[in-house]
Amino acid sequence: MSKARYVTGLRAVEQLLATRATEVRRLYAEYQTANPRVEALIAAANNHGIQVQAANRARLQQISGEARHQGIVAEVERSTVLDEAGLRTLVEGKLEESTGEPLLLLVLDGVQDPHNLGACLRTADAAGVDAVVVPRHRAAGLGPTVSKVAAGAAEQLSFAQVANVGRVLGWLSDYGVAIIGASDKSETEIYEGDFNRPVALVMGREDSGLSKAVASRCDELLRLPMRGTVSSLNVSVATGVCLYEVVRQRGLSS
């Protein structure tokens, strides 16, 4: 049997049961919460023939590794996380499509906080991102906290963990994908970029932004305008602003 992972939080589990119930192995629930949303999830699991097991709050935390589980934990089959070869197959298939919007990838160059990763995944799903790409090492990966913050998006999005982000950006460029990085060192604002083409949007690490190696792979560096006293935004907020500029431009052209 493949290794399981755990999804916590009411909204994330609601989304999981609504869209991918067949992947849920078991539901652990705190029966005495008197929470109608927990009761509804238990009923939904029973309707799908999913085993439901009672557990107190301490047990739920032990199972999931997450203290803020909201009285519910779903055990699911580990979703397929793409490797570099799988990502290449996804990209090639999308580029061959003659209909639909152009390819849109979100590349996170070393985001380390699982809350930030979860927020980025939630926005990426809402913005129609085809896949999120992260480094395999020294970066946040999928886990209960990410799933909870992502509110179901972590179970929907294609998620690629790769050994070398720079190498991936290299072959994406060879395929004709525009590599656009967000950097406060640029003089060009995000609104001047052209997103009506296949794009890989690259966002940097929380404390240091894009690494020099990754920045050097970008075709363009664009910045967010900062009109106040702060010099930068949280990476998940910045990601949302950038992705919705893509959505805006593509909506105008459709």
User: Residues 6 or more apart from 143 whose CB is under 8 A from it?
Assistant: 5, 65, 114
Q: Are residues 90 and 60 in the same domain?
A: no
Q: Are residues 185 and 108 in the same domain?
A: yes
**With pLDDT > 70 as the criterion, what percentage of the chain qualifies?**
96
Q: What pLDDT does 132 receive?
A: 97
The mean pLDDT value for 175-200 works out to: 96
Q: What pLDDT does 128 receive?
A: 96
Q: Are residues 146 and 221 in the same domain?
A: yes
Q: Are residues 147 and 180 in the same domain?
A: yes
Q: For the domain that residue 16 is a member of, what is the CATH number?
A: 3.30.1330.30
Q: For the domain that residue 221 is a member of, what is the CATH number?
A: 3.40.1280.10
The mean pLDDT value for 68-81 works out to: 80
Of residues 99 and 72, the one with the higher pLDDT is 72
Q: What pLDDT does 3 receive?
A: 54
Q: What pLDDT does 118 receive?
A: 94
Instruction: Name the domain boundary from 29, 52, 77.
Output: 77
Q: What pLDDT does 166 receive?
A: 96
Q: Are residues 170 and 225 in the same domain?
A: yes
Structural domain for 51, as ranges: 4-77
Q: Are residues 131 and 222 in the same domain?
A: yes
CA distance 174 to 166: 13
pLDDT digits (tens, 9 = 90+) for 201-253: 999 998 889 999 999 999 999 999 998 888 889 999 999 999 999 999 999 86
- Output the pTM of the full model: 0.77
Q: Are residues 50 and 113 in the same domain?
A: no
Q: What pLDDT does 163 receive?
A: 94
Question: Which of the residue ranges 65-79, 167-181, 216-230 would you say has the lowest mean pLDDT?
Answer: 65-79
